[in-house]
Structure 1
Amino acid sequence: MSLTGAFAALADTGCAVGESPLWDATRQALLWVDIPVGEIHELTPATGARRLWRLEGPVGSIGLAADGRLVVARRHEVGLFERATGVYETLAQVLPPDPELRLNDGKVGPDGAFWVGSMHDAPRREPRGALFRVTPEGLVERRRDGLFTSNGLAWSADGRTMFHSDSRGCWIERWGFDPATGAMSGQTRIATPGEAEGRPDGGAVDALGYYWSAGVSAGCLNRYAPDGKLDQRIPVPVPAPTMPCFGGDGRLYVTSLRPAGGAAGPVLAATAAVTGAACALFAAGAL
């Protein structure tokens, strides 16, 4: 088994839509966001120390920059946030000012750029989303179109395989990836999980190259082999998990959301028998 202990909810971590967990190895801290309220949370598991920052409007995802700042996907833009001072600076406008579009899942890639997808944020979902690559210089490259809800970004430990999903299209794709240039090649759709199996939300890759997908509609984590074969379906004690993250403390963390009429979604933690791929850093310079 890939987990050696049961999941437990961390105290006082309930969110409306908890997402984008990542491990800050320098500070030995876990970070995550609560999308609709624009909150960024930080927890140091060893001490229980907590910090919270709130930005105006939704925060879809975050990444770590090499200089210690956070790269932040807001509704239509990407910027850099300094935790010590609370100063935020816009880096790039990614989307037009359309109230039905917002940025969603994002991660720093092995190429040092921030990869972030968008979604059609309306009751009727249309394939208006896209996948973008944002460079440290603020250059925005559109890499994929026709998405409902871009999600599930994760890379293998060697940086040569990228995974990407669409939560409403209900598919997971694998791409060849050049960690030096960010070039994508060899698109392969490896899985098409539906509602009962767990629509694919956020993802993570372990050190063995297996892709972990949060089955947001089925209360589970789905662990796929690189070729798309389902290796394990792991139940979690919440109805709607949103993204797994391997911590540097030997634990697997999972964010979750509040289902309709339910309680706030906590962050879960369990002891893992496998480690995760190292967190890449955004090569940010001074703005």
Structure 2
Amino acid sequence: MITTTQAQQYDIVVPHCCLLGEGPVWDEQTGSICWIDLLNGRIHEYTHAANLFRTLPVNDLIGAVALCENGDFIAGLKEGLMIVNRNNGTTRLLQHPEAHLPQNRYNDGKCDPMGRFWIGSTSLNNTVKAGNLYTLNNDLTCAIAIKGVTMSNGMAWSPDNKTFYYIDTPTFEVAAFDYDIETGQISNKRIAFTIPRTEGLPDGMTIDSEGMLWIAHWDGWQVARWNPDSGRKLFSFRLPAAFITSCTFGGDELQDLYITSACAGLSEKQHEEQPLAGSLFVIRNCGFKGMKPAIFRYP
């Protein structure tokens, strides 16, 4: 397998490090990049044109956010799936499908092309297959899409809206499903490809306009571009942090690649060696373009 690692210059978006940065989301209406600090319970937002960095505390573990039509956030908090007012941080509960499982929390989440919110769960105690993947529909009903996952992570929909890709991190596998855009149903699971363990654990994921998957590799120092049809690693961007957590495209033409990272779990020596761990990185004009970000649609 021939791959290329590129040392293209990255920028630090803001001089701030998260404990566990995750879930970057591009807001094309405001030209802002939003991301979370999962452990500190904060939503961060940076607007480049105004050079404005804002932090919205939600006072709870937060696994993921997505944008709503009115500009607010839909978020997976420890205490449920909630609307977060973007101005003042107040929350409104929509659903809590795991209220009966206090040992779980919500993890990665994303909107599908029809504006449904997909959100996975994981055990606080690392219990194997204790989590599930849920779909929060446009009418606010909630259903299980995949049962029995361990660490629900990366999600992406193919450009033709026919395939759903999904990562359960400890499996090192990227699964593919047939996806029905009208109903939101997934079927015909197969393993698109398996990540070699030497690459680091597969974490968050996005997809580009050519249908190639971009995967953040926890303990892999990289975000890598993979061909889901052949399973071939096309190349990677190396970064100055071991724990790379997620990525998304942003910018006026979705030409910039935003990448989150974490510093939680590093030893004192590792902190000294990785002073930028926990930063939000951006590779401007990365050479590829992303898909238009989907937003949550509800009554």
Band of TM-score, shorter chain: over 0.9
3-state SS of the aligned residue for 2:39? helix
Q: Distance in 2 between matches of 1:8 and 1:238?
A: 13
- Deviates further, 125-134 or 192-201: 192-201
Say whether residues 1:238 and 2:241 are aligned partners. yes
Question: AA paired with 1:283?
Answer: R
Question: AA paired with 2:95?
Answer: A
Q: Which residue number corresponds to residue 57 of structure 2?
A: 54
Q: Which residue number corresponds to residue 119 of structure 1?
A: 122
Question: AA paired with 2:266?
Answer: A
Q: Which residue number corresponds to residue 203 of structure 2?
A: 201
**Quick one: which of 149, 152, 166 aligns to 2:151?**
149
3-state SS of the aligned residue for 2:95? strand
Q: Distance in 2 between matches of 1:138 and 1:222?
A: 35
Q: Distance in 1 between matches of 2:290 and 2:63?
A: 22
| CA deviation profile, 1:183-222 (whole Å, cap 9, x unmatched) | 2123221222244212110000000000011111211112
Q: Which residue number corresponds to residue 130 of structure 1?
A: 132
Q: Distance in 2 between matches of 1:88 and 1:267?
A: 25
Q: Which residue number corresponds to residue 260 of structure 1?
A: 266
Q: Distance in 2 between matches of 1:63 and 1:159?
A: 19
- Deviates further, 36-45 or 166-175: 166-175
Say whether residues 1:220 and 2:212 are aligned partners. no
Please tell me whether the aligned partners of residues 117 and 135 of structure 2 are also in contact (alpha carbons under 8 angstroms).
yes
Q: Which residue number corresponds to residue 82 of structure 1?
A: 85
**Quick one: which of 59, 64, 68 aligns to 1:65?**
68
**Quick one: which of 191, 194, 211 aligns to 1:192?**
194
Q: Distance in 1 between matches of 2:196 and 2:237?
A: 16
Q: Which residue number corresponds to residue 42 of structure 1?
A: 45
Q: Distance in 1 between matches of 2:110 and 2:92?
A: 18
Please tell me whether the aligned partners of residues 199 and 217 of structure 1 are also in contact (alpha carbons under 8 angstroms).
yes
Kindly state the Cα deviation for residue 46 of structure 1 after the two structures are TM-superposed: 2.8
Please tell me whether the aligned partners of residues 221 and 233 of structure 1 are also in contact (alpha carbons under 8 angstroms).
yes
Q: Distance in 2 between matches of 1:153 and 1:2?
A: 24
**Quick one: which of 267, 275, 280 aligns to 2:294?**
280
Please tell me whether the aligned partners of residues 179 and 186 of structure 2 are also in contact (alpha carbons under 8 angstroms).
yes
| CA deviation profile, 1:155-176 (whole Å, cap 9, x unmatched) | 2233222111011222111122
**Quick one: which of 33, 36, 39 aligns to 1:33?**
36
Provide the TM-score with structure 1 as the length reference: 0.93
Q: Distance in 2 between matches of 1:2 and 1:237?
A: 14
Question: AA paired with 1:269?
Answer: V
Provide the TM-score with structure 2 as the length reference: 0.89
Q: Distance in 1 between matches of 2:224 and 2:191?
A: 16
Q: Which residue number corresponds to residue 181 of structure 2?
A: 179
**Unpaired runs of 5+ in structure 2?**
none
**Unpaired runs of 5+ in structure 1?**
none
Report the aligned-residue RMSD: 1.9
Kindly state the Cα deviation for residue 223 of structure 1 after the two structures are TM-superposed: 1.2
Percent of counterpart pairs with the same letter? 27
| CA deviation profile, 1:233-254 (whole Å, cap 9, x unmatched) | 3322211110011002431000
- Deviates further, 225-234 or 56-65: 225-234
Equivalent runs, 1:13-24 vs 2, <5 Å: 13-24=16-27
| CA deviation profile, 1:9-49 (whole Å, cap 9, x unmatched) | 22323100000001000000000000011100000123320
| CA deviation profile, 1:64-103 (whole Å, cap 9, x unmatched) | 1112111010014111112124331111012134342110
- The alpha-carbon distance between structure 1 residues 25 and 156, as it changes in their structure 2 partners (threshold 3 A), is same
Question: AA paired with 1:95?
Answer: E
